[in-house]
Amino acid sequence: MNTEEKTQVTMVEGTGGKYRWIAMTALFLAIGTILRLVSPSVAGVSPNWTIAMYCLVMILVRPAIPQAIGIGLVAGAIGVVSSKSIFPYANLLSEVLGAVVCAALVRSGIRFQLGKFNLQPAVLGLLTTLASGMTFVTATKLALELPMQMYLYGMIPVVLTVAAINTVITQMLYFPAHKIFAQKGEE
């Protein structure tokens, strides 16, 4: 006598389930980590792929602020182990702040467009990288008691350069990511 109940799973095309954001976050952060590890530095500067990737996640899944804090903590922990910095622990603070800034901007509903062209990825990549990067270099300066000249003329220019690079990268990666991962019914 077979007493097993049969379970029916119904898949609705284009939804992905309640925890889709977790899977997407894990995928994008893994890609960002790999790219961060293999990207060469040019004059000590390389893109912050982690920030670009979690910006894309924020745009695609629109997480709540507590979820963004979790994303930032994971990104920060990844940054601690994959950073080329002299003070990698600053990633724990800077990535949380960057993720919260990004999520808050996404959830604010502010549109960044040039005509019909969506500039939200570029603007979020720029602002998030600036928030995270400035937090990172300021925490590093304070923790290691670095001279102000090093902070002003060595660290801040790197943040500005990485922010410019991330602006372009986030915008370029948005269109294929949106095409692959956006839910049906989105614009």
Domain ranges (residues) in the chain: 20-181
Q: Which two tokens stand for residue 43?
A: 């004059």
CATH topology assigned to domain 20-181 = Arp2/3 complex 21 kDa subunit ARPC3 (1.10.1760)
Give the tens place of pLDDT for each residue, 118-140: 999 999 999 999 999 999 999 99
Does pLDDT of 6 surpass 60? no
Total residues belonging to the chain: 187
Report the pLDDT averaged over residues 18-42: 86
This prediction has a pTM of 0.85
| pLDDT category of residue 9 using cuts at 50, 70 and 90 | very low
